[in-house]
Amino acid sequence: MSSDINAGTKSDGRLPLTGVRVVDMTVVWSGTFATMLLADLGAEVIRVESTQFAPYGTRGVVVRPSPALLQTRGLMTTGYPDRQAGERPWNRIALFNVHARNKLSMTVGYMQPKGLDLVKRLVAKSDMFIENNAFGTVERLGLGYEDLKKVKSDIIMVSMPGFGSSGPYRDRVALGRHLECTAGHTLLRGYRDADPTWTTEVYHCDASAGATAAFAALVALHYRNRTGKGQFIDVAQVETIIPQLGEFIMDYTMNGRVQQTLGNRHTTAAPCGVYPCRGEDRWVAVTVFTDEEWQGMCRAMGNPSWTAAERFSSCSGRWDNQDEIDVLIAEWTKEREDFDVMRLLQAEGVVAGPVMDERDCYGDPHLQEREFFEQVNHAECGTHLYPGMSWKLSGTPCHIRKPPCRLGEDNEYVYKSVLGVSDQEYAELEKEGHIGMDYDPSITVYGRAKASPGTTHEPIQNGG
């Protein structure tokens, strides 16, 4: 393990995954989120990248764009600190950096025979290999499970294609938005007065798949510790999100009923919605399940005369008259601050909370007291607060120990300390373009790699 991988760690104890090494060839969000979770827990996660090829998703349009990609397609500058791309925009894009903490980055021309051999040498010294490219991509590169077992018999490989490694959909390439549509999330998440094209893209499938893959990797690691055997883990991203619609799936299988778009409403609670509050674009979410909760809400609103209407006295009556109730509640909430409405309703046992934006999250006293956000100093992005750990382990506290990895910044450690490359060989690899911290603009083009001497494999493709 790198001598400085835990530099700056606030815990004196060993982290849960100290001593575990992960080879990371993930793209976009789902895979990078999975390896981030392992890195947070102390695993040495080494991203394998290339200065000679910037595939879509690895450091491409939505993650870390190369200069050629910027010139070809351009980007929304809101993804950069101060909305400035800087000299190395691939190290400054927010979508990549949020999942790149606690990781290391090496560069190698993995599409060339020598580069491929170097990747396999790294795998031979590692515990896991994780990728989420389109089905068949790593196999074409020569990095499939059968290939890796030859260099590391007990390797744990996690593969995360959108639809899995079997079945009629396995060759289909998809991103989070497509998987959510396929899983049925998109229609349920919209509004009754709008068509599906108005549905917000939340990419929840990426987060769900990433967490599931990390969990599966830990299970396989536990199994290997007991048996000495590695294994292949096939994570179909879409299958990680379907169970989250369990009641709707079961309603169809048992009753033949297809659920319609609910908007902000609930199948049984009423009133249930998001209501306007004082200020620009300020809202509060309220949900009432029982008659007791309804009475509590009436008290919080000061028992206005309309609440005594017979049609609102029962759950079924309130359900049948939701449109009318929504208008009346909005008249009350729009005169008050969102947090004030929450406090009034919570005091009466009513489920309520403000609809918070990013500014609210960073200023939230609860998150501040729990020290969720952590200050990180990045060499090319400056000092900023980053979302921290989603858990607090009393025995082995986890923190952001290392800023998001810059392209190739850990080359010397990986090549010399892990792979045992000599100074002379290291210099040769630099001359050949394997090692570096900048893309070669003469090779990198939009979505493809120009042919280069020794190239034997197809470019890697994004799989969501």
Check residue 387 and give its pLDDT.
95
Task: State residue 11's pLDDT score.
Answer: 39
Percentage with pLDDT > 90 across the chain: 67
Say what percent of the chain tops pLDDT 70: 86
pLDDT of residue 13: 58
Phi-psi region of 281 (alpha: psi -120 to 50; beta: other; left: phi over 0): left
- Using an 8 Å Cβ cutoff, are 274 and 332 in contact? no
| pTM of this structure | 0.88
Collapse the DSSP code of 148 into the 3-class scheme (helix H, G, I; strand E, B; otherwise coil) and give the result: helix
pLDDT, mean of residues 459-463: 40
Query: 398: Cβ–Cβ under 8 A, 6 or more apart, which residues?
Result: 11, 15, 16, 40, 41, 42, 389, 391
Q: In 3D, which of 341, 354, 271 has the Cα closest to residue 302?
A: 341
Answer yes or no: is pLDDT of 21 > 50.
yes
Count other Cβ atoms within 10 Å, centred on residue 461: 17
Q: Which architecture, in CATH terms, is 283-354?
A: 2-Layer Sandwich (3.30)
As given in the structure block, the two tokens for residue 229 are 């055997």
Write down the domain spans for the chain: 21-243+376-449, 283-354
User: Can you give the pLDDT at residue 343?
Assistant: 97
How many of the other CB atoms lie within 10 Å of CB of 341? 29
Considering only 73-87, 105-119, 201-215, 294-308, which range has the smallest mean pLDDT?
Answer: 73-87
Average pLDDT over residues 68-89: 64
Name which of 41-55, 95-109, 310-324, 391-405 the model is least confident about: 41-55
Mean pLDDT (whole number) for 203-218: 94
- Output phi, psi for 143, to 5 deg: -125, 30
Which residues contact residue 131 at a Cβ distance below 8 angstroms, ignoring those fewer than 6 apart?
25, 26, 31, 137, 138, 143, 158, 159, 160
Task: Decide the pairing of beta strands 128-131 and 21-25.
Answer: parallel
Q: Please give the average per-residue pLDDT across 346-365, as a whole number.
A: 95
Rg (CA), the chain: 26
pLDDT at 439: 85
The residue ranking higher by pLDDT, 61 or 182, is 182
The strand pairing partners of 24, in sequence order, are: 47, 130
Token representation of residue 104: 């290391």
Q: Would you tell me how many other CB atoms lie within 10 Å of the CB of residue 71?
A: 12
Give the residue from 313, 295, 305 showing the smallest Cα distance to 349.
295
As given in the structure block, the two tokens for residue 33 are 């989120």
| Residue 258 predicted with pLDDT over 60 | yes
What is each CA distance from 209 to 18, 69, 109, 135, 245, in whole angstroms?
Answer: 24, 27, 28, 15, 15
Alpha helices in 157-265 (DSSP H): 176-183, 185-188, 204-227, 246-255
Alpha carbon 35 to its chain's center? 10
Q: pLDDT-derived band of residue 195, with 50, 70 and 90 as boundaries?
A: confident
Which CATH code for domain 21-243+376-449? 3.40.50.10540
* pLDDT computed for residue 65 by the predictor: 46
Query: Quick one: pLDDT at residue 260?
Result: 82
pLDDT digits (tens, 9 = 90+) for 30-62: 999 999 999 999 999 999 998 876 444 334 333
Task: Report the chain's mean pLDDT, rounded to a whole number.
Answer: 87
pLDDT tens digit string along 116-148?
999 999 999 999 999 998 889 899 999 999 999
Domains 21-243+376-449 and 283-354 share a fold: no
**What is the C-alpha to C-alpha distance for residues 406 and 433, in angstroms, rounded to an integer?**
17
- Work out the average pLDDT over 182-195: 83
Count CA atoms closer than 13 A to 83's CA, side-chain side: 3
pLDDT at 232 over 80: yes
Residue 463 has what pLDDT?
46
pLDDT per residue over 390-426, tens digit each? 899 999 999 999 999 999 999 999 999 999 999 999 9
Cβ proximity of 435 and 131 under 8 Å: no
Which of these ranges, 80-84, 210-214, 346-350, 458-462, has the smallest mean pLDDT?
Answer: 458-462
* Bond from prior residue into 404 cis (ω within 30 degrees of 0): no
The answer to whether 300 touches 348, Cβ cutoff 8 Å, is yes
> In this structure, how many other beta carbons lie within 10 angstroms of the beta carbon of residue 422?
10
| Lowest-pLDDT range of 63-67, 228-232, 264-268, 322-326 | 63-67
How is the beta sheet containing 232-234 ordered, strand by strand? 103-107, 44-49, 21-25, 128-131, 156-159, 232-234
Count Cβ atoms within 10 A of the Cβ of residue 329 and give its class: 0-12 exposed, 13-18 middle, 19 or more buried: buried
